[in-house]
Amino acid sequence: MNVTPKRALGQNFLVDENILGVIERLADLEATDVVLEVGPGLGVLTRRLADRVAHVHAVEVDRSLEPRLLDIPRTTLHWQDALTLGPDSLDPQPTKLVSNLPYNIATPLVVESLDRFPLIGLWCVMVQREVADRFFAEPSTESYGAVSVLVQLVADRTGFHPVSREVFRPRPNVLSALVAFRRTAPGVPLGVKRTVEAAFAHRRKTLANSLALSGIASRDEATAALASIDRDSNVRAEALAPSEFVALTASLA
């Protein structure tokens, strides 16, 4: 059966099985794992996972792929948008997220999964190289942003592997990478998440002005909160380390 990838869905099918060993190693797969896979595509990774773990939840929106995904053992297919998926609909609950993620949902899916799926303890995801770099970017670098802060408040990176364009069909125009990270905290408190998102909402503004424009605090309140964590009133959001956003939120409160 020939399947034409749909660009609107961000589909780049994984077709080279040589990369599966790298995914298996970075995902630290165990027989007791329950894996959430988003965007199974042709099922190449799905079948490898199903052979090695207790259960796979494969989430896909493209029903034309159904013939390629049927009859995979220990696998439940969920035909829906992964961004609307709730933990209550998954039984058993996933303990790892291992996926070749569709490009168009990779960032929001990873960020939302940090809080939405509290039992997930490890992520191993294939994403655009620039997205992989963003997850664990250092403060005061071009890639550092709200996503970097939110991911780093919850997880530590455990693995990274550049991926050739040749493992996909169609061959993408962008570079890709596998990135693996393990949970170190239960999630990002809502107040901290609001502060982080507001802080980076106006990147050309100072942090105090960005918080004020976003309605988190007045500029004077933001300036006082920054002073309490030994930061100047003219500092920009990208200069703060993740832990400083936690301290800033506490001061604002």
pLDDT score of 89 more than 70: yes
- Domains detected in the chain: 7-183 (3.40.50.150), 190-252 (1.10.8.100)
What is the distance, to the nearest Å, from the Cα of residue 160 to the centroid of all Cα atoms in its chain? Answer: 14
- First-to-last alpha carbon distance for the chain, in angstroms, is 58
Residues 110-148 have pLDDT tens digits of 999 999 999 999 999 999 999 999 999 999 999 999 999
pLDDT score of 33 more than 50: yes
Residues 3-17 have pLDDT tens digits of 666 666 666 788 788
Q: In a 3-state reduction of DSSP, which class is residue 118?
A: coil
From 114, 148, 249, 139, select the one nearest 195 (Cα to Cα): 249
Average pLDDT over residues 205-223: 97
Peptide bond into 170 cis (omega under 30): yes
The pLDDT assigned to 151 comes to: 98
Contacts (Cβ under 8 Å, ≥6 apart) of 216: 194, 195, 198, 222, 252
Average pLDDT over residues 29-33: 98
CA separation for the pair 88, 40 (Å, rounded): 21
Give me the DSSP letters along 143-196.
Answer: T-SHHHHHHHTTEEEEEEEEE-GGGEESPPSS-EEEEEEEE-SS---HHHHHHH
pLDDT score of 1 more than 50: no
Taking the model in full, what pTM does it have? 0.93
